[in-house]
Structures are given as C-alpha cells and as structure tokens.
C-alpha cells in the first residue's frame, strides 16, 4: 500500500511538473517567437544593467518583432525602426494603450496623462494639454522669451562657481523646472527657495538615485518583488514621497481656487479649473494633481539629463566644443542673445544635439504600450492587453542605419555642403498617437540652454579626469552618473 501511494505521489508530481512546463512555455497561436526564461522571473537572469542592448542582440535570433517573458507576462519587443512604424504608427489606434503595471498604477491611480490608458479620458486630457500648453506659448515666441530669461539665471548660478569644480545637476533641474513652473503655476522660484528645492529633491529620487532607478526597472518587469525586502522598504519611502509631492501641489491648487477668475486665466492650473466648471467627469482634482506631476517629471528629468549628456560630450570631445563655440560666435556673437530664428543658420549645433539624442538614448524603451484589441501585424497575432515596448536604443544603434553607432559623430548629420540633415530614425520623443506632449518645448530648451551655456563658458573636466560617459544609471530613463565639471568663463 505504501509503495502504491509513493508511486501515485511520484506520478502526480511528474504530471504537475509536465503541466507546469507546458503552461510556462506555451504561447498564443501565431505569437511572435522569443525566450521564456525561468518560472516566475522569466528572462530576468539573462539581462544586465542594459537590457535594451541584450534584447537588440536577440533580434538576430528571434526577429524585429519578438516576444520575451518578463516575470510571468509575455511582452512584445520592437527591435527596429520598421517594426515600430508598423505598430505604433500604422496601427497606432491598436497599440496606444497603457499596460497594467502595478508599480505605475500604484503611483498614478489611473490619473494624469503618461500612464492613463488609451480611450475617451486620455483623448480629452491630451487635447486639453496640447491646446493649453500652446496657449501659454509652447512652441511659440512667448516660450522662447521665458526660456531665455531662465537661461540668464542659469548662467549666473554657473558663474557663481568661480571656475571651481561643481556638480551641475541641481542647477539644470532648477532651470528646467522653472520653465515648467512658469507654465503651471504662473511664476518662477529662486534656486535656493526651500519649497522649490524640497520638491525637486523628492522628484529626483525616482530617477536620480541609482538604487531607486534599478529597483524601478526591476519592479516594471517583475511587480511582485515590491512585496519583498529590500524593495518593499524602498517602495514605502517612495510612496511617502509621492504623498508629499501631491500634497504640495494640492496647496498650490487650493491657492489658485481662492483667487480664480474666469476672465483671467493665468496658467495651466487656472485653465484646468475652468474646465472643471464645464466637465466634472474627467476634470477632477486628483486628475489635476497627477497631471501636474507628469508635467514636472517628464518635463524636468528628460531635458535635464539630455543637457548633462551634452556637457559630457563637450568634455570628452573637445573638438566638438570648439566647433560649437565657433558657430555660436559667428551667428549669435559674443554678447548676442540666441534665438530659435538662428537655428537654421547653425547646422553644427543642430547636428550636435541630434547626435547626443542618438548616442545616449535617454528613454531606451520609451513608455510601455499595450494593445487595445486583438491585432494582426507582420504575420503575427497579438492578443488584446499585451504589453509592447519599442526598443528605441536598438533603432539608434542599428548597424543598418548608422556607421559606427558606438561613436559620437555629429558630422553624420551634415551633408557634403555642411547643411544639417534631420534623420527620421532618431526618435527620442517616440512616435504615433502617444508621442511626447512636451516635444516642442524640449527642442526649444535644448537649443537655447545649450547655446547660451557654450556662448558663456568653456566646459572642462576636473583635473583632466574625464567622468564616465559610457555607463549611466539605467532604468526607465538612462541618466548620467554624477560628475563634477569646471566652467571657465569666456
């Protein structure tokens, strides 16, 4: 009897193992091929600090549109430009959803804009955002004036360093955030303002700290890790910071409500309050608070980090800094004021910025997408609710598109006559219906802030000790490691 029981137990265990293996390795019919990895954790053990590079290599084995199991879910990875065009652009309506990733949902609770699913609410909020930001000068002369005014404050803060080595992170984040503050709150803040600096410090925890950045990436792939120490403790601290951030924004909203006048719309908050009086279903206070957070997070971190990468490139490749300064001097002048109208006459500056965005891809996987319905594309069938990640890094480093993509070469974006040639294959703001809302503002900021800095300062390394440029803090955003810089006034 005992032997029979043991045999039965063994057979049952074997059947359970076989069924488990079958369940783990099965995929939907006509689903893109790709690795499954190990139970519960999927392909995580095969990835390193730069998963976008590993997945780009797997294109040779699995194809441009491949699948990979992250945790317990199959995600689709788009590994070249044509795959991204096929899905996010030509089938944009089907690929513009947002996946239910717990770490994101825990933060935004279905509000804001960046992680809100594709549908009526998102369309209303997106349309409102575009119209309102344009109304306050986004992409127009008014925004250019605002950016140039802030550039003067930025240069003064750099000048205060008196040629000593310093970390420029906070100066840049204060600078970029003040542009957002002008749009959202209707005013700027001094760089030493306690409220302003405290807010930026909390926002910086999401992407500025390497440990938090790594954790954020892991939780995106394997959400259940948030319940396991030390991740659980770090998530508790991040949630605490989130409560603080939203609480501070709520104080601003209350102050705006107390002074609101229909005939005097001063800023983004006022414009939203005006809509709240018309449509109360999607225009709510929680939606406004998370919308403000999205504008600050997306509008500050991305441009700040791009400028930090640009400064690293200036230091590592001094010949590019010399060419940049020469062009600025010839077009803007020694004491002139740069403007967007000068951009067409500054091809090398445009090529430099273009190459920085390619060379150090800031958001390697963009923001995760999700299929809003069952869809057939490129011979594959992808079910509704499947997470889709465009590998922007793979496009920016595709050997079929770029000669020696690992090298920084602004000249690759100039023709034989020295004219700037914009490449459609450089897509830092993504493509399709969910391209970045702040693209135009970011372009203005990058051109004017960079031009203004190089016009006024020569940037050097500390004691000729070049800071790291190949490695960075990599997760949702690829940010430079902290470094010190010397700004020598011209």
Q: What is the CATH number of domain 29-489?
A: 1.10.630.10
Distance CA 177, CA 147 (A): 11
Report the pLDDT averaged over residues 33-41: 90
**21 pLDDT exceeds 60?**
no
- pLDDT (tens digit, 9 = 90+) per residue, 179-229? 999 999 999 999 999 999 988 888 877 666 667 777 777 777 777 778 888
**4 pLDDT exceeds 70?**
no
Q: What is the mean pLDDT of the chain?
A: 91
Q: How confident is the model at residue 93 (pLDDT cuts 50, 70, 90)?
A: very high
**315 pLDDT exceeds 80?**
yes
pLDDT: is 134 or 325 the higher one? 325
Q: Which two tokens stand for residue 442?
A: 């970011």
**242 pLDDT exceeds 60?**
yes
8 Å CB contact between 271 and 279: no
In this prediction, residue 179 carries a pLDDT of 95
Distance CA 490, CA 470 (A): 29
Distance CA 114, CA 462 (A): 38
Report the pLDDT averaged over residues 389-407: 98
Tokens 């010397």 identify what position? 486
Domain boundaries defined on the chain: 29-489
In this prediction, residue 205 carries a pLDDT of 74
- pLDDT (tens digit, 9 = 90+) per residue, 360-388? 999 999 999 999 999 999 999 999 999 99
Q: Which two tokens stand for residue 264?
A: 């005097």
């Amino acid at each position: 009897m005992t032997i029979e029981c043991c045999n039965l137990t063994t057979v049952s265990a074997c059947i359970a193992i076989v069924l488990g293996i079958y369940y783990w390795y099965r995929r939907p019919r006509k689903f893109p091929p790709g690795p499954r990895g190990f139970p519960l954790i999927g392909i995580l053990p095969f990835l390193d600090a730069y998963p976008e590079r590993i997945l780009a290599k797997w294109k040779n084995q699995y194809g441009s549109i491949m699948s990979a199991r992250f945790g317990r879910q199959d995600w689709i990875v788009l590994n070249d430009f044509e795959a991204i065009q096929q899905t996010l652009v030509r089938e944009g309506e089907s690929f513009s959803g947002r996946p239910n990733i717990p770490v994101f949902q825990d933060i935004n609770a279905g509000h804001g804009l960046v992680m809100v699913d594709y549908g009526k609410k998102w369309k209303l909020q997106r349309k409102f955002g575009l119209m309102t930001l344009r109304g306050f000068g986004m992409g127009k002369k008014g925004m250019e004036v605002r950016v140039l005014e802030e550039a003067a404050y930025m240069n003064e803060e750099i000048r205060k360093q008196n040629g000593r080595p310093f970390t420029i992170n906070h100066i840049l984040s204060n600078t970029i955030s003040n542009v957002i503050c002008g749009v959202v709150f209707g005013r700027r803040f001094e760089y030493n303002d306690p409220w302003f600096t405290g807010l930026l410090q909390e926002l910086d925890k999401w992407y500025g700290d390497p440990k938090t950045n790594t954790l954020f990436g892991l939780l995106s792939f394997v959400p259940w890790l948030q319940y396991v120490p030390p991740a659980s403790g770090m998530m508790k601290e991040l949630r605490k910071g989130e409560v603080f951030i939203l609480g501070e924004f709520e104080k601003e909203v209350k102050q705006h409500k107390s002074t609101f006048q229909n005939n005097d719309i001063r800023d983004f908050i006022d414009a939203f309050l005006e809509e709240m009086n018309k449509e109360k279903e999607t225009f709510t206070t929680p939606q406004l608070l998370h919308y403000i957070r999205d504008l600050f997070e997306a509008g500050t971190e991305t441009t700040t980090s791009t400028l930090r990468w640009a400064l690293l490139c200036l230091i590592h490749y001094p010949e590019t800094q010399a060419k940049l300064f020469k062009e600025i001097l010839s077009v803007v002048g020694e004491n002139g004021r740069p403007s967007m109208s000068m951009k067409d006459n500054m091809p090398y500056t445009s090529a430099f910025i273009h190459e920085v965005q390619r060379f150090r891809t800031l958001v390697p996987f963009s923001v995760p997408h999700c299929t809003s319905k069952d869809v057939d594309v490129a011979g594959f069938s992808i079910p509704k609710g499947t997470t889709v990640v465009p590998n922007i890094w793979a496009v920016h480093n595709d050997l079929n598109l770029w000669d020696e993509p690992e090298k920084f070469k602004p000249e690759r974006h100039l023709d034989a006559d020295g004219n700037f040639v914009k490449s459609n294959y450089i897509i830092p703001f993504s493509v399709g219906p969910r391209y970045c809302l702040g693209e135009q503002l970011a372009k203005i900021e990058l051109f004017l802030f960079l031009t203004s800095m190089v016009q006024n300062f020569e940037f050097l390394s500390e004691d000729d000790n070049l800071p790291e440029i190949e490695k960075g803090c990599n997760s949702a955003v690829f940010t430079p490691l902290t470094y010190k810089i010397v700004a020598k006034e011209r």
